[in-house]
């Protein structure tokens, strides 16, 4: 594989997604600054004191959910870009260029990995600054959500989505996994599993995060290898 060709492809991918990344970073930054402002001015503590049953932990999770919604919307746009590309004839056009199948697949995987990595790192950075500004809202549950849903689930589903796309040209798998996550979260065993994960995160945060990163890397390598072998139909 030619690294210069892959690097040029990745640059083009980033350039085409510049508006998505800009609006995601801007929106999440504004939300984060609003939460920090509200927390430092005592508004959050007043809400907790005036509403029975509301705790700082619950408020922090609500703030994280709002930040996570911005990430999920951007993540869906990033994931479904392949559908727009296949409808526009982008991949047949690539075959007229002096670029190999392995270079196309590798560049696509690397570009999506880096862009999704930037988005989740930005989200974690904003949340870290929020907790530094308002230590009372620090929550192990919030970091567990970021690790399991952001670092592991979102990354893994993105890799599986591209594997299905390069094999069958289907982009619907992304919605299947989103629906699956929503349905599974309604069952009691999902709460029990999450409580167990929080317990693991509490006892060994670095070990748990390392295992999540290792599993994610294995999934990405497996999906990339399968995509290179399966990508023939375009």
Closest CA to 172 of 82, 73, 74: 82
Q: What is the pLDDT of residues 32-55, one digit of tens each?
A: 898 888 777 766 667 666 666 666
What are the Cα distances from residue 169, in Å, to 80, 98, 164, 165?
A: 12, 22, 7, 4
Model pLDDT, residue 184: 67
Percent of the chain with pLDDT over 70: 81
For residue 85 the two structure tokens come to: 């590309």
Contact in structure between 12 and 105 (CB atoms under 8 Å): no
Model pLDDT, residue 27: 92
Number of domains making up the chain: 1
Closest CA to 32 of 69, 75, 74, 66: 66
Task: Show the domain range for 219.
Answer: 3-230
Closest CA to 36 of 136, 145, 142, 139: 136
Q: What is the pLDDT of residues 99-118, one digit of tens each?
A: 777 888 888 899 999 999 99
The size of the chain, in residues, is 234
Residue ranges, the chain, pLDDT below 70:
1, 42-45, 47-57, 137-138, 170-174, 181, 183-187, 230-234
Closest CA to 143 of 223, 81, 213, 198: 198
Contact in structure between 85 and 166 (CB atoms under 8 Å): no
Question: The whole model's pTM is what?
Answer: 0.83
């Amino acid at each position: 594989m030619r690294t210069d060709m892959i690097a040029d492809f990745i640059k083009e991918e980033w350039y085409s997604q510049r508006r998505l990344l800009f609006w995601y970073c801007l929106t999440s930054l504004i939300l984060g600054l609003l939460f920090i402002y509200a927390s430092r001015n005592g508004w959050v503590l007043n809400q907790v004191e005036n509403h029975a049953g509301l705790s700082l932990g619950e408020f922090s999770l609500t703030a994280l959910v709002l930040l996570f919604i911005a990430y999920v919307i951007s993540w869906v746009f990033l994931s479904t870009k392949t559908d727009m590309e296949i409808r526009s004839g982008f991949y047949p056009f690539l075959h007229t260029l002096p670029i190999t199948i392995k270079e196309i697949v590798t560049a696509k995987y690397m570009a999506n990995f880096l862009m999704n990595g930037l988005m989740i790192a930005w989200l974690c950075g904003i949340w870290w600054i929020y907790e530094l500004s308002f230590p009372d809202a620090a929550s192990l549950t919030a970091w567990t959500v970021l690790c399991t849903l952001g670092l592991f689930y979102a990354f893994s589903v993105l890799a599986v989505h591209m594997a299905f796309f390069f094999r069958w040209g289907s982009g619907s798998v992304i919605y299947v996994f989103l629906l699956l996550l929503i349905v599974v979260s309604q069952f009691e065993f999902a709460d029990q599993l999450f409580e167990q994960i929080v317990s693991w995160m509490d006892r060994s945060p670095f070990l748990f995060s390392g295992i999540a990163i290792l599993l994610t890397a294995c999934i990405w390598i497996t999906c990339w290898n399968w995509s290179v072998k399966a990508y023939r139909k375009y």
